Structures are given as C-alpha cells and as structure tokens.
Amino acid sequence: MTLTAFQTVALAALVVYFGRFIKSKIQILDKYNLPSPVIGGFIVAIIISTLKAQGLFVLTFNKAFEEALMITFFTSVGYSASVRLLKEGGRAVVFFLLLTIGGLLVQIIAGIGLAKMMGEHPLMGVLTGAVSLTGGPGTALAFGPVFEAAGVEGASVIGVTTAMGGIVLGGLIGTPLATYLINKKKLKHPVDHDSGAHQESMMLKSFAGRDLLMHLLALTLIMGIGTTISSWISSLQITLPIYIGSMVVAAIFRNIEDTKTVFKISPEWIEEIGSVALTLFIAMAIMSLRLEELKNAALPILVFLTVQAILVAVTALGPAFWVAGKDYEASVMSAGYVGFMMGTTANAMANMHSLSQRYGHAYKAFLVVPLVGSCFIDFINAALVTFCINMFGN
C-alpha cells in the first residue's frame, strides 16, 4: 500500500496524537519527557517493520512534504537569531561551539580507533560517527559515494542506517538525560522569563486569521529566497543542509524587522508555526524508519552506535553541562547537544521543545544550539571529514 503525500502527513498527525496518548498513560515516558512524535513514531515504525518482515503488509510513504516541513521549522529558527539576542548569547555560542568541536574530534578519533580494533576500514569509524551522527542522514547520503570510492563498501546504506539509529537514540536519551540533571541538581526555570511567557500567551490569544496569513506569506517568501541561495551554493559543489539558506535569510529579515518593522512579523508566532512543522517532521521521519535495515546491519554498526551514544551522553552530562553554565538552560542545552551529535538539529530542537513545554522556555538554549548545531558545525564537520578521507582513503 502506498500513501499519498497528504495521507502521509495525516498519518504523521495521528502518530503525534498516539504518542501523546501513550505518554499520558505510561508514567515513565512522561517523567523523562520523551517527545510525543518520537514515542508515537517509533512504535508505529516497529509495527510497520514487523508486518513487513512477516510478509503481511507493506506500507510505502510519499514524503513530499517532509523537506518543506523541515525547511519551515529551520526558517523559524533562523528568525530567532536577532543581533539583540546574539549579544546576550555571544560568549555562550563560542564556548558551546568549542565544546562541540571537541566532541566531534572525540567522535572521529574513537570511531577510527574502534574500526581498527574490529578490523574494519578506518573510514568506517568516520562514516558511522561524524558523517552519519553529527552530520545526519543528508550528510551520510552526500558523502556515501565519496566513502565508497575511498574503500568503504556499501557506505551509503551503512551511513543512512547509522543515521536513522542515531536519530532514534538521540530522541530516546536526550530528554531523560536533561530531566535527570534538572531533578538531581534541583534546577529551576528563571523567574524573570515568566512575564515574557505570559505576554506571549496573551499575544497568541489575540492572534487573528489575517495575521496568520501574513506570517505564512512571510515564511514562504523567506523560504523561497533561502532555498534559491541553497541551490546556488550546492551548484558550487559545497555540501550543506538545504535549510541553511532559509535560516540565513530569516535571520536577515529578523534584524531588519528589529530596526524598521517592515512586515510586522511576530517572533512568537513564527516560533509557533515552526513548532507545528517540527512536530510533524519528526513524526514523519521516525514513523518511516526502515527498522529492518538496523536489524540486518552488520554488528560493527551496532557497536559503533552504542559506543558513540555512550560518549555523547557522558559529554552531555559533564563537559556540556558545565560549559553551558550548570543551570536550567545548561540542562536543556545538554539535551540539544545529544540531539544534534546523535542525529539532526531537528532532533535537538525536539528534545529541547519537550523540556520547555514542561519546565519553561530556555531562551539561550534555543538561540545557541541551532546556531552551533546547524550552522557552524556543518562547515567544520565537512572539513574534518574531508581531511580524514584524504588521509585514510585508498
């Protein structure tokens, strides 16, 4: 059975409802703040994969809207990057970026060392670490042919399989880890943000249909310009996520709005629209995971995933939490760190969004993590991976 694009989105919506229902009924899931789309998506993926393995039912998705949802979300993230906010989070961005670079180097070195211990090609460790986990599925697909040419057989399949496993693990361990920190350290949400949340709530209540139209039009315009820029960058043989252009354009629009108020765009409602897109994107991505590929993958892939997950979790509990300030914001940033170091920035944002819904919005975390996880680290990761290919390739 093949679902149309609209039916796929509809199923993703049901998955979110299902995840929320399961979360409300199973206390441990609610206690550790597992994101509803991750819960529902993972259960549905298991069911679909099991039915397929038994030869009873095969479901194929048309994910035509998945990229649009992803770009919509990251456009909303880009719109949050105003100069005014950057001044507040400037040092935090630098420190968190340096920490992430350190984590990336550990990921690469550990992967290469583990690959040699297991008798695998050294680049197998890079592929199942920095490329597939920090880079995500898109980077894994982009670098797959290059790794195959360098001597890693089946690199594209291995990379995507590892990336999918990383996304699941990043969603499963990120929020419980942060919740553990919040409970153990007795961390409190900053009181001075309560009034802002109240004002946002009042603003959302007074939001009119015409305002929604204007915000959707603005987002569409920004995404149109941004994806054009991304396509141009890709034509230069530079590998970057497709949403980067839209993020940059959104940031430019935001800073123009902060000074001249041309479009009268509400940052709060851009965030709300992005949140809806994020929820559907995560549900769609996880429910369509081909879990049989994880089952059929070679043992080394499972070993790499386990070791890398442990390293990322330890870094998040220790260095990431300390560098970020050892407060509530730091715990949320730790969850974000797990998300983008094990999968995608969307995973990181889903982890942080789940925490903020329960404990309160972490303004600095939502500024720092997207900037580090989706902008700066992609450039550095590509450079390090290219260096490794030149060093260890055939």
d(CA 5, CA 63) in angstroms, rounded, equals: 6
CA distances from 55 to 49, 52, 59, 227 (A): 10, 5, 11, 40
Burial of 188 (0-12, 13-18, 19+ CB in 10 A): exposed
Instruction: Give the pLDDT of residue 66.
Output: 86
Provide the token pair at 118: 């297991």
* Number of compact structural domains in the chain: 1
pLDDT band at 89, cuts 50/70/90? Answer: low
Instruction: Give the pLDDT of residue 195.
Output: 40
Contacts of 289 (CB under 8 A, 6+ apart): 41, 42, 45, 49, 164, 167, 168
Instruction: Give the pLDDT of residue 374.
Output: 67
The predicted model scores a pTM of 0.68
Residue 382 pLDDT greater than 90, yes or no: no
CA distances from 141 to 115, 137, 269, 294 (A): 20, 6, 34, 16
Q: Which ranges of the chain does DSSP label H, i.e. alpha helix?
A: 5-25, 27-31, 36-53, 66-79, 83-117, 122-126, 137-150, 155-185, 194-205, 209-235, 244-260, 267-287, 291-296, 299-315, 321-323, 328-342, 345-359, 363-370, 377-392
What are 225-267's pLDDT values in tens digits? 999 998 898 788 765 667 778 888 998 888 888 888 777 788 8
Domain CATH code at residue 183: 1.20.1530
Contact 320, 287 (CB under 8 A): no
Q: What is the mean pLDDT of residues 271-278?
A: 86
* Side-chain-facing half-sphere of 342: CA atoms under 13 Å: 35
Residue 285 pLDDT greater than 90, yes or no: no
What are 180-220's pLDDT values in tens digits? 999 999 898 775 544 444 444 444 445 566 778 888 999 99
Q: What is the mean pLDDT of residues 41-50?
A: 88
d(CA 43, CA 49) in angstroms, rounded, equals: 10
Instruction: Give the pLDDT of residue 237.
Output: 74
Instruction: Give the pLDDT of residue 110.
Output: 97
Instruction: Give the pLDDT of residue 142.
Output: 74
d(CA 273, CA 34) in angstroms, rounded, equals: 21
What are 1-41's pLDDT values in tens digits? 888 999 999 999 999 999 999 989 988 777 656 778 888 98
Domain residues for the domain of 231 are 5-392
What are 108-151's pLDDT values in tens digits? 999 999 999 999 999 999 999 999 999 888 788 778 888 888 88
